[in-house]
Structures are given as C-alpha cells and as structure tokens.
Structure 1
C-alpha cells in the first residue's frame, strides 16, 4: 500500500488534476491520496492558501470579503467545469466556504487556522467528486472521522501519538481514501494547522499510521538535486539518499521538504519517493534508511542558506570560567531565543542563530544583557553570515574530504569563518559571508561532481 501526496502545483487547475488522475489510476497500490490547496497556475498567480488568509483577515477586520470569496471559489469552479461536475454536486463545497465567517471560534488564531485549512479540504472533496465521476470507488475522509488528532496550537500544531493508532484501522479499506493535508482536529474538535510543510507532514503521518510500503511525494521537480539549480546549471539528480542526508541538506536550504516534514516517515522507517507530477515516468529521488544504503559518491549534495547571524564573544581565560556557558544560555532562555551552533576556543566563542527570530530591539536587548552578565572583552554581532552544508554518507570513511572542500575555496579567496563536522561524520558545516555563499557552493560542487 502506498500513500501519495500531491503538492499545490500538482492541483493548480483542471489540466494538473488530469495528470493526478492518471497517476492514481496507474498503480492500484496508491490507496491514500493527500491533497494540498491549489497552487499558482503561473508566476503572477496567487495561491489559494494566500487567498484564504486574505479572506480571514477581511472577516477579522470587518471588511467586505465578497471579492475574495469569488476569487477563491473561481479556482475550484474552473476545475469542476473542466471535469463537467454539476453545480448541484459542488454546491455543498461553496456553501462550506461561505459558512466560514458564521462559525464560532475561540479566538482569532483558530479562525485563521480554519480558513487556511479549507484550501486542502475543498481540494480533497473536489478530487473525490472527480474520481467518483470516473467510476472510481473513492471516499473523502475528514480528519475528524479518520481520528487525525493534533495539539491545541492553532497554527503550529503537532500530531498526537493516538493518531497513529487511529489511522491503523484505515489500512484495510477497499476504497481509495482522499484526505486533506495540512491540518488535524484538536481534542476540542477544532481545526489546527501545521506551521510549515503541512501536507508533507500529513502524508508522512499517514504513511507511518497505516505502515505503508512507500510514501510518494509528487511535486513539480524531477528529483532532489545535488545543488540548487539557481546556483548550479543542470545539477546532478540524486537517485538515492538517506533520511539523515535529507535532514542535513534541508536545514541549509533544500526546498523540496521542510526539514521536519518527513520525521513521521523516518520514525516509521517508510521509504519516501519524491517524483514530478508532470513527468511521473521518471524515477525521482528515493529516500531510505541508512542501514539499507550504499553510497555511490563521496558527497550527496551541497546546500547553503543566508538566514543566519552570529554572535562572537572574546574573553581571556574563558575556558577556565565556570558557568560562563550556563549564564549565556539562561539569557537566551529569557529572550526565548534558540541557537543553532556554538563552536568555541579557549578564549572565544561564536553562537550561530537563525536570525529570523530577531528584530532589532530584541537583538540589542539581548546583547546588552550578555555584556552586563558576562563582561566579555569583545562582543560582536555578525549579521552577514551564511551556512554551507556539505553532506554525504560516503564521507564517513573517506580521507581527505576536508582538504577537497577547503582547497578550492582558498584558491578563490573565499574566507571560511567556521568549520564544524557533525558526530555522524556525514556532514561538514562551513560559515562564510553571505556574499560568498553561492561561489562556495559552486566550487565545492565542481570539486566533487566534475
């Protein structure tokens, strides 16, 4: 049995729905279909989720929302018209969209979650109607009926352990199940959405819950690539990779998955196949457990991300000062700040952050608190910081990898501010200036793949 998730680009219009139908029909093992909200049809188009957010904001601000509702419904109506689905059959979907402002919500966060989730829900309901018109025994399965239970964080929810037990009963169903991604139901019966990679998370949870043989994730790329195609022209497609390689690369900017999206599949040891809805005949990228993986190259991929910043602290005899790091961490806790890495020497220490969690005021206040509590000889905030991840299971037992990474960078006068190798020995992290990141990726990629 396979769980199949289709992304927003795969469900953007009638033509894309037609491709999805063909994919579903091509393999009877595809028994659970997870839908996203319709994505962009062209570069200047608007995603349905963004329209639903506008709809919610209109309601919250007591603004006229008729034009927004019309724009949302036109996306679904166009698909229904493409497949000649009667107005009578889709009327309940429209009514559900229109009823959203009349429902009572405990607060604005749950209102926003409910509005956003209906992009996926209406997609799943409409896809079910299209399948049934084709005489396919398909069934729309609402998360409440499925037992897809989540925590009470309205827009940043987490799956509850009982969900996996609840989903087991659907493993033997004869019908094709069409389930909406992105959201679940709280114990109070409210809709709550995942924060990022929502439909990917839903698919991974279903795959683990029914103990699927494979989780297929259909998107708009042929495979996961060894480097960002915006940096490297025609990079090598990755045929096989491990879960942890994907996690390491996603952390530094691989955009196919949010790095937390497939954790349920990892926990269930379910292989994941990333494929292209537009070219389903291509093999895509298979993501597998490391104990069943034999690396074919030294590195699997190289990625970079520029949304980092660093705090540099220098103080003589820092390594002899008991409790220095504890005091620092207590300050981070006070300001609700998480750090990514903390490489250190005997007299200095660098803390690397995801700078998206800061604004100017928080940063200044935190630095003042550190200066007062720790009295460093030097404190410097480095905003121009990028992280580069070089990842590969083949690095574990290979001598000279570090030289092959750093030598081409030195020849191009690219300064390395930090080097950190993970305990697993499958990743090496470099810190550079943000302006040097793309050039560094190019040099490393060509060193290992050309």
Structure 2
C-alpha cells in the first residue's frame, strides 16, 4: 500500500486523497488515517459495479436508500495491524416482480453479514491446518473468537481434503485418543473401563498419506470404514499390513469386503513380542531367585537393556560381559534361552533381505519353533504359538517386505496434533485435524506438480 504521509497531529489523513489499491478485490482505498494509538484506519469504498445488483433479480439498482459503514476484520499489516472501514451503499430494488425491497453491497471477499474478510479466513484456516497450531492460539493471535477460527479451518480443510483414491497397499493401526475413563453401564449399572482408541488407514504404497480414521479399535470400525469406500477402492487393495491384532484380521477376512487383499503382519510388532517375552522371563527368574524385584546390583537387571538389543549392535566385549554375568547368576539358563529365541526370530524375519528364500525360511522357522518348544519355558511357548498362528501373514511379509512403518510414523503425527490441541472432545473434529496434518506433504507435492 502506498501513501504520502502528511500527518496532522495524532489523527489526520495519511494519504493524499488519491484512490489507492488495497489488495482486496472489489474495494478501493479512499483514505488512510492514524488514530491516537498509532493504528492505521483504512477507509475503503466499493469498486465493483456488480455489488449494486440485486441478489434476487440481478438488476443493477440506481436508487440509494442510505449509506452505511461496516468494519470487517482483515489480515494485519505490519506489527500494529489495521482497522478497515468500508463505506458502502444500501440500495433499493425498484423491480415490481422482485420480493426484495432493499439490499446492501457485498463482494466476494466480504459476503452479506460477514464479520471477517475471506483472505483473513483463509489465513486462519492455514494457520490451524498447515502449521498445526491450536485453534485457541490462532484465534487469540488474530483477535477472533474460537468458533470463528474453527469454522475457518473447517472451510479451509473441506476445500483441500478429497475422498481417498484407490490404493494397492493399505496400512491399518490404532492410536490412543485419550486417557482411559470409567463409565457406568446403562444396562448393568456397573462401572466399566473404556479405552478411547482411533483406527487409522494409511496408503503405504502411494502418496495419499492418512486416508482416514474411525473411532474405536474393533472389527466393526474397520468394516464400516471400508464399506464406505467405493467398489473400485476395495477391489484395488492387494495387501493389508497390520500388527498381530485379531480384530483387524477378522475385519479384513470378512467375505466380499477386500476380495483381492493379502494380510501382512509387520515384523516390528513381532520383535516387540519377543522382547516382551525376554522381559517377562527375566522378571520371573528374578522373583524365583531373590523373592523380590530386580535391583541395580543384580546382573540380569543391570543387563536388561543389552538383553533387548540386537546381537549385531553389541560389541564382542559387551556381549561376553553380559553372557558371563547372567550365566553365572541364572543356573536355570532361562534368561539366555529367551534371548536366543528372540535372536532366532529376528534371524527368521531377516530372510526378507535375502529375497524371501523359501527353503531358508522353512529351515529358520523350524529352528525357532524347535528351540522354543524344547525349552519348555511358558513365555517362549506362548511366543511360538503366536508365530505359528500368524505364520501365513508373517510369511507374506518375508515374501513382500511390506511393513507398517509409515503407519507408525503417522501415529506420531497424530499425537502431535492431539498435544497441540490439548485433546479433542469431538471425534469428527479430531479426525479432520489429524488427517489434514498428515496429508501436508502430499498436498504440497500436488501443488508443485501442477
């Protein structure tokens, strides 16, 4: 904005009276003043001839009823901001067949009864969605109410978010929405614990990011979301990556839901189960040996992190120190047997790096199961049973190498949004904010290509 500053005291015209462009389509600057607090007051007039057309009949009016001044809030200019005063006309409609007797000028950026301009609404929506800021914080920074800022984000997100397109590899995983709560059951009258979870759906092979979320961690949540998609979408899914969750597997196996999909179990969760088995064995053995929890002076507790670390990440010296310390303390050998079982499972899963050789895979599977069964350790028997139950899905991972790592990454982004918002009460608002935040790179790539 250009101006010839000729101040007259604390309040006076800043412009020389020349009509200035304001950057807001449909209006022009008439003059600029500065109030006692140093805030610029921009007086604008209507510059769009179509603003004098009746909204009902479309006939341009020439009969002035009155002059009005409104103060729509606009984007700030500099550190001090600006105040807009729009001098506009209220016209009469003289057409006999038109039911409207009078109307006030409007432009695209400032529709009827609007309190803020369209570009400010767009800026607020982008600040909430693109920057991942809290609605309350953005509302305070732009001096608008929380509902106004939230409606601006909804409009911004609705214009950019699109229906998920077909995907070849679908990832499904859950993320916690909030803290566990206790609610009284309406049927039994008893207090029941409820864990709020959200199930997320991710495009693992393409660039669509987070496709959507559904409240709950149940088979029905997955089935309902998939049934809302088109037949083309469901028929195009070739692989579905999950963790060893029976509810998700049951949903994917629903007849006719995903006719061409193959289930794949992610190896990360399997290694985590093996590490959990090692931890359980270590704690149980400590109780058997000392009748108490582990302490710093106990070798198995001092080496608890090394037991969970991969063998190739341990130096020979560190490995020998851990092995000798535990074998001298645990005469039963159960802790090291659990550690060996964990490493055997990792070796089995690493076959994916060798192209999923079928003969080598069968050999390593037999070695892992034999070790767990021969040990007769309850935790290892449970681990072997889990691997045997999910072996078709595990074998699919070894053959394809498909993982759910991208889904876990979007779970982290979802938690960031929840922390910035200090939680959500409305699941719809939560799903919208999270999906918008988890598709930023995809939208940026689309704009760059276009």
TM-score (norm 2): 0.26
Q: Which has the bigger relative contact order, CA under 8 A and spacing at least 6?
A: 1
TM-score (norm 1): 0.26
